[in-house]
Amino acid sequence: MSRESKIIRILLSIAAVLLFILLAMGAYLLFSRPDFTMQDLSGEPSSSEQTDVPAEPVPEPEPEPESEPAPEPEPVPEPEPEPEPEPEPEPDPEPEPEPEPEPVIPPEQLEAAIAEADLLAAGYDYPAARVLLQELEGWETDPQITARLEEYDAAEAALKPYPNMSTITHVFFHSLIADNARAFDGDSDSVGYNMYMTTISEFEAILEILYKKGYVLVSPYDVAYEVTNEDGSVSFRYGEILLPEGKTPFMMSQDDVNYYGYMIGSTDGMNEIPARPDPTGDGFAHRIIIGEDGLPTCEYMQPDGTVVTGDYDLVPILNRFIAEHPDFSYRGARAILAFTGYEGVLGYRTKPSYETALGSEAYAAEVEAAAFVADTLRQQGWDIASHSYGHINYGDRGAERVAADADKWEATVEPILGETDILIYPHGSDIEGLVPYTFNNAKFAALYEDGFRYYFTVDSSVYFHDLGDVYFRGGRRNLDGYRMWHHPYMLEDLYAIEDVWDPDRPTPVASIG
Ligand SMILES: [Zn+2]
């Protein structure tokens, strides 16, 4: 070996030792670092081995302060909408506590309400029947009520609008004869009673026949009424009457519900002395009163002078018939009652000039009693009409006389009976022929100005309707002795005379004029 080779070997050995020392120092520095991971060796990401250094989240708190300002604005809007949907599910648990059905409807109250609702339903007033039952607290869970409501729905669904509104007939009566022997006793008034009156037995027979034929009593306000147009003007139109198939609406009225003196006693009340019933009366009721049951009834003086109370005229008789046959009346309708003023109304001596004879206190009592009866009648479905003040002939009189008479009714009768828009012409004497009314007719202008919108006359045809722009006019058929005796064929659509005619009537029945 040469000397040079020895030197090289020595240098290489020194270099090797230095290299080793350098490597050893590097290794020490590397492994002693606090955040050493295998990633530092492999160069690949690996988090699983961080478990070796769990105690070193020291640097982590540093990013926390950084993220804190960020989440703060975010939660502000978010938590707000969240609590809102939460209160929504709360109402559910509220109805859940179902102690409400527990307050069961008291049986007596339930029974009374159902009876009343059934009565309304029988008169085709299903909406009112429903409202009545649904006013009871707890109706939703009562099986009887829910069953009833289903029945009403089914029955109402079977109703149809009456298709022939313009053909609805209208019949009328005067005071009914309660005692045939007294009415047909041969005195001077007998002839007139035989012509223009109907006996109680005839009236009851007519009701039975009409009912069996499917007739249903309606109010003129069901037949036609005034509507306000978009431009503010008014016009009349037919109403809608909902009835089962096979039913036929009709109207009824009674004229002169005044119980005039000549019918009930020996004097008339034409002058300043009011008439009173006495035993010489002709067999008619003399007054309508309200009975203890709240229903109208009649006072009647018997030949021995005693006064009895009961069904002595149309009002209580029709009421009783409808109570027995509630489907005979559409939605509570009753007849139209028409009044003059010259002897007072309803049998009460309310003509103002009677005050002198009666004294202020007694007169005020008459007025108060009559007003109470009229108000009760209205509440129970009866319609009130004017029959003029003095029973004058509106067709023959001049416009000024007609206007003066209508004004007198308004001044002396309306305060007792209340306002009405129905006028029933005395003697059936219309202010115009068959042509429609216009305001060029001074009588119509005056009557319209007084508030009248419904005008009824007498007409023997089955129906006469005049549906004007601003009024409704109709004919009425007298079902009295005159019509039955002289024109039985005119009543064929209603009944055969032999099924109604009272054998107590004297014959022949006189002719008019
Ligand atoms: Zn009359």
pLDDT tens figures, 451-468 = 999 999 999 899 999 999
Amino acid identity at 295? L
d(CA 427, ligand 1 centre) in Å: 6
Place 8 in a pLDDT band, splitting at 50, 70 and 90.
Answer: low
Write the DSSP assignment of 306-368 as a string of letters: -EEEE--SHHHHHHHHHHH-GGGBGGG---EEEE-SBTBBTTB---GGGHHHH-HHHHHHHHH
d(CA 236, ligand 1 centre) in Å: 27
pLDDT at 104: 83
d(CA 406, ligand 1 centre) in Å: 15
d(CA 310, ligand 1 centre) in Å: 24
d(CA 510, ligand 1 centre) in Å: 18
HSE-CB at 423 with a 13 A cutoff on CA atoms is 34
d(CA 317, ligand 1 centre) in Å: 20
Task: Please report the beta strands in 174-268, taking only residues with DSSP state E, as ranges in sequence order.
Answer: 215-217, 224-228, 234-238, 242-243, 248-254
d(CA 469, ligand 1 centre) in Å: 27
Exposure b/e, 156-166, CB count within 10 A at least 16 = b: beeeeebeebe
Neighbour tally for 108: CB within 10 Å: 8
d(CA 349, ligand 1 centre) in Å: 18
d(CA 98, ligand 1 centre) in Å: 63
pLDDT at 98: 57
pLDDT at 269: 85
- Residue 384: pLDDT above 70? yes
d(CA 370, ligand 1 centre) in Å: 19
d(CA 50, ligand 1 centre) in Å: 117
- Rounded CA-CA distance 400/397 in Å is 8
- Rounded CA-CA distance 429/483 in Å is 17
d(CA 459, ligand 1 centre) in Å: 14
Find out whether 276 and 263 touch, Cβ atoms under 8 Å.
Answer: no
d(CA 422, ligand 1 centre) in Å: 14
d(CA 387, ligand 1 centre) in Å: 7
d(CA 196, ligand 1 centre) in Å: 10
d(CA 442, ligand 1 centre) in Å: 23
d(CA 221, ligand 1 centre) in Å: 22
d(CA 458, ligand 1 centre) in Å: 11
d(CA 391, ligand 1 centre) in Å: 6
CA torsion sign, 248 to 458 to 418 to 261?
negative
- Residue 308: pLDDT above 70? yes
> What would the mean pLDDT of 326-343 be, rounded to a whole number?
98
- Rounded CA-CA distance 480/493 in Å is 16
Distance of CA 148 to CAs 244, 345, 444, Å?
18, 43, 49
d(CA 256, ligand 1 centre) in Å: 5
d(CA 424, ligand 1 centre) in Å: 8
d(CA 92, ligand 1 centre) in Å: 67
Please give the model's pTM, rounded to 2 decimal places: 0.80
> What would the mean pLDDT of 31-55 be, rounded to a whole number?
43
pLDDT at 38: 44
d(CA 61, ligand 1 centre) in Å: 109
d(CA 186, ligand 1 centre) in Å: 22
Amino acid identity at 70? A
d(CA 395, ligand 1 centre) in Å: 14
d(CA 392, ligand 1 centre) in Å: 9
- Residue 102: pLDDT above 60? no
Name which residue leads in pLDDT, 388 or 81.
Answer: 388
Question: Of the given ranges (259-273, 302-316, 368-382), which has the lowest mean pLDDT?
Answer: 259-273
CA torsion sign, 88 to 93 to 96 to 100?
negative
pLDDT tens figures, 246-292 = 999 999 999 999 999 999 998 888 889 999 999 999 999 999 999 99
Of residues 462, 497, 503, 493, the one with CA closest to residue 483: 497
d(CA 294, ligand 1 centre) in Å: 28
Question: Of the given ranges (31-40, 364-373, 491-500), which has the lowest mean pLDDT?
Answer: 31-40
d(CA 445, ligand 1 centre) in Å: 23
Q: Six-digit token pair at 94?
A: 């509220």
d(CA 390, ligand 1 centre) in Å: 10
- Residue 58: pLDDT above 50? no
pLDDT at 238: 98
Strands 472-474 and 454-456: parallel
Name which residue leads in pLDDT, 417 or 43.
Answer: 417
Partners of 228 in beta bridges: 234
d(CA 472, ligand 1 centre) in Å: 20
d(CA 478, ligand 1 centre) in Å: 11
d(CA 302, ligand 1 centre) in Å: 25
